[in-house]
Structure 1
């Protein structure tokens, strides 16, 4: 067991690039992504794992990075919102969010995008209630959610997985 202030060595692949770093044992995954790797698309809202703004995919599963430790990333593959768009342009989820006006202030958007990515990798042709259930762990204070649900449905129809 590590002590507060103790350092740990990690090797993690983030958005296809492998990083080797020494981090404080108590550093959160969100702080590692934002402060060490400068991937600031992962937003930190509540810092208690409640709002979902900090959601990233770790080994393909959505995780609240504000309540995970950077040391837990050792050997993992992490996907952040920065990894969605490619040289060809926006990811189909991002394009659907744009087309459906599924964001206002945008603070919650990275978390919603990552949860939706995980969900749509597993489910085809989901109904509105299923989408609402899948996204229920993420909080938006601006949009009222309907446009986000519409965007996930549009992405499901247009994304070639």
Structure 2
């Protein structure tokens, strides 16, 4: 999606902030709630792939069950003009891989704080029988307003 594109008459795309194996993530303005959001969409080359669509649908259903301060909030789920999407809380910061590169060496106490938060998020997922299947530093976000 290009900058300025309006998804579902509500979300104005600002920029692409991430690309993954099957999905892209965009920063957008929620025109109704007047806030920045992150929108995850199934990549264009997977939109006709039944297995990818099923996996994305599973992710949509799974993530709505999670309610924990260590997991991004989901605000909306939908499909518009063939685009499946998940609208989530936007975390202004960096991923854990970037954080490690920028702050190395990291004290043991800081490492323990980070790991505790990761484990709390994983515990929330597991309490709902959800397995993250792609847990890695690039998928862990560090909020610059609330650093570890």
Relative to its length, the structure with more strand (as a share) is 2
Shared fold (TM-score, shorter chain, > 0.5)? no
TM-score of the superposed pair, with normalisation by structure 2: 0.29
TM-score of the superposed pair, with normalisation by structure 1: 0.28
Greater relative contact order, per chain length (Cα 8 Å cut-off, separation 6+): 1
